[in-house]
Structure 1
Amino acid sequence: MPVAAGITVGLLLIPTGGAHAEPKPTIPQAKARLAKLNDKADKVVDRYNTATEDLKKAQSTYTKLDATYKRKLATVADLREELVNMAVDTYKMGADVTSLPALISNGDPATLLNNVALAGQLAQERAAKLAAFDRENRGLKDQREKAEKALAVADEERDAVQKERAEVLKLIAQQKKLLDRLGAYKVGNPNSTGVRYTGAASGNAAAVLRFAYAQIGKPYVFGGTGPGGWDCSGLTQAAWRAAGVSLPRTTWQQWAWGASRKVDYPQDLQPGDLIFSEGLGHVSIYAGNGQIVHAPQTGDVVKVVKLSAYGRNIQGAIRP
């Protein structure tokens, strides 16, 4: 459903107070509408998160290259000045050597000539170093220009997706108000201490599930990376970080990262595995015994549910 159409639907859900106002939808109807909205919103926000991560990388690359470029430019400037000074000194020394007073007054002409030769050699070495720095700087300048272009592209992409994200957040805000009026909106507790994990998982999987269970009761937040709220991939990233494994930020990135770590679903699922669903719009953690722990959607909280009750359109699973 296009965003514009979604906005129209969302607006129709708000009572206008007239004689022709539509009756309030039931809680199941509201939840069904919210679920459809979140299926779309998950994908949009994931694209936004991905674009934001790309922007951060582009900014970091540009900053490093720019600093290196400026530092080397300063080095080249110093070398050039040193080379010019040496050339002037060498010229003066050579002129003095060939003058009659110098030949008469210098008790050791060979020493003076050796000094001139040495100065010339040093000048040649500095000239060679300067040429090398110039070559290096030309390549570095090209890299910096590429980084500038990548930064501009990432910035444009982020701005484009952010506009779409803003539209979805408007719809979400309307749905949250609707659920609140119906008494079905779960605020969650950002300071929740969760639930103690007592399952049979061991090793990394146990560390992952201990962390995830400690987040139970905290609200789902779009773009949330904790500690007071989470989105689905923010939770899985942080849970596996607690086990010493670094995952990318978004569901798409996590799925791509695990391309060589896929497991046969569902027969080979083990606690701690990541399950991807909703066209890669959602990711959850398998908790064992047919259950998952996840940050589901707006108006809900981090919780444990049966996989059979939530596992729609399963894409597959990976084991980090």
Structure 2
Amino acid sequence: MAVAGKPVGFVRMPMAAGLALALLMVPVGGALAEPKPTIAQAKKKLDKLNDQADQLVEKYNQASEKWKKARKKYRGLNAALTTQTAKVAGLRKDLVTMAVTSYQGGSVGWQNLVGQANPNLVLSGLATADQISASRAQTLNAFDEANKELRDNRDKAKEALAEADQTRDELADEKTRVEKMIKAQTKVLRELGTYRTGDPNSSGIQYNGPASGNARAALSFAYAQIGKPYRYGGTGPDGWDCSGLVQASWRSGGVSLPRTTWEQWSWGASRKVSLSELQPGDLLFSQGLGHVGLYAGNGKIVHAPQTGDVVKEVPLSAYGGRLVGAVRP
């Protein structure tokens, strides 16, 4: 029988039954699964993560270099402090010996010279008294100066230690941020099926480009690293980050570069060249100065890209207009 206002066949369902049916239609877990991102979306997310990671890794490298310098400074001051402590101890011993000798033997003074019949002996005694007095004064002054230097060195060492402790904490904070970012990068790369572990023992390939001299030595080194994994903070020999690879490559070419991309860019302030006049071996920097590679000639770049990838040669066009400048060592 049709219910007024309702089509034939419609049966009113009790509310409790309706709720039960609705619940049965919801997947286990109580919520609908989020749709898997498309390849294009994943790649876009990865590009964003890579840009962020470049900056974080270089901040980590900067903190690492700061920590190493602070630690070296403290160790040097601490060694000086140890040497100065030994010097003060030696002078203190000399003072004690001098005091004991003066007490036991009596000081050479006017009372010792009275009654001498020989004028020459009197003059000799006066000279000896002056010499002993001058020697004592010199020893006391040396002791005072050494103690002052000891206090100064101790204060400087304490300051250096505090600085090293602070930079160690900064380094730990940056490391935590980088590792969180790497975890996110790795997740996306595995979703895309493009994660590459690399071979830490890779012998690379031979460089056959047009470079010569120091630049050829630098590029030959860089190409010998091809296939090795990207590793944040990596300075070789089994893994590299971008600035670590560039620094080591040019070191083999006889040029000492700073460690981080920002420092390398600053170091090259008077060595910048136009992107239209690139030569093999030039350092190429991307926007934000978070990444650097080496121009290899013939429109090629060799670099250590990012997490989940390996040292490799890529066309200049791979940077997609993101290059901001070049430096020629």
TM-score interval (norm. to shorter): 0.7 to 0.9
- The one of 217, 231, 243 aligned to 2:253: 243
- Per-residue CA shift, 1:220-266, capped at 9, x if unaligned? 222222222211111111111110111121111211221221112x1
Decide whether aligned partners of structure 1 residues 74 and 151 sit closer, same or farther in structure 2, where only a CA change above 3 A counts.
same
Q: Which residue of 2 aligns with 1:164?
A: 177
Q: Which amino acid aligns with 2:80?
A: T
CA contact (8 A) 1:274 1:317 kept: yes
Q: Which residue of 2 aligns with 1:289?
A: 298
- The one of 209, 213, 218 aligned to 1:199: 209
Q: Which residue of 2 aligns with 1:276?
A: 285
CA contact (8 A) 1:103 1:109 kept: no
Give distance in 2, aligned partners of 1:249 and 1:225.
Answer: 9
- Per-residue CA shift, 1:130-171, capped at 9, x if unaligned? 232233334323422331332233123212222322321321
Q: Which amino acid aligns with 2:146?
A: F
- The one of 36, 55, 60 aligned to 1:43: 55
Using the aligned pairs only, state the percent identity.
51
Offset of residue 21 of structure 1: 3.2
Decide whether aligned partners of structure 1 residues 312 and 281 sit closer, same or farther in structure 2, where only a CA change above 3 A counts.
farther
Q: Which residue of 2 aligns with 1:6?
A: none
CA contact (8 A) 1:292 1:306 kept: yes
Q: Which residue of 1 aligns with 2:148?
A: 135
Q: Which amino acid aligns with 1:267?
A: S
CA contact (8 A) 1:277 1:311 kept: no
CA contact (8 A) 1:230 1:295 kept: yes
- SS of 1:301 mapped into structure 2: coil
Offset of residue 115 of structure 1: 4.2
Give distance in 1, aligned partners of 2:183 and 2:208.
Answer: 40
Offset of residue 75 of structure 1: 0.9
Give distance in 2, aligned partners of 1:188 and 1:23.
Answer: 31
Structure 2: unaligned runs, 5 residues or longer? 1-27
2:127 aligned with 1:118: no
- SS of 2:200 mapped into structure 1: coil
Give distance in 2, aligned partners of 1:311 and 1:143.
Answer: 50
CA contact (8 A) 2:242 2:304 kept: yes
Q: Which residue of 2 aligns with 1:174?
A: 187
- Per-residue CA shift, 1:258-293, capped at 9, x if unaligned? 1221112x1221110001103111101111122211
- SS of 1:285 mapped into structure 2: strand
Q: Which amino acid aligns with 2:171?
A: R
Q: Which residue of 2 aligns with 1:64?
A: 76
Q: With the length of structure 2 as denominator, give the TM-score of the two structures.
A: 0.81
2:236 aligned with 1:226: yes
Give distance in 1, aligned partners of 2:268 and 2:129.
Answer: 66
Offset of residue 24 of structure 1: 4.1
- SS of 1:316 mapped into structure 2: strand
- The one of 64, 73, 78 aligned to 2:90: 78
Offset of residue 17 of structure 1: 9.8
Q: Which amino acid aligns with 1:150?
A: E
| Greater Cα radius of gyration, structure 1 or 2 | 2
CA contact (8 A) 1:291 1:307 kept: yes
Give the RMSD, CA atoms, in angstroms: 3.0
2:47 aligned with 1:32: no
Decide whether aligned partners of structure 1 residues 103 and 175 sit closer, same or farther in structure 2, where only a CA change above 3 A counts.
farther
- SS of 1:228 mapped into structure 2: coil
Map 1:211-222 → 2, pairs under 5 A: 211-222=221-232
- SS of 1:284 mapped into structure 2: strand
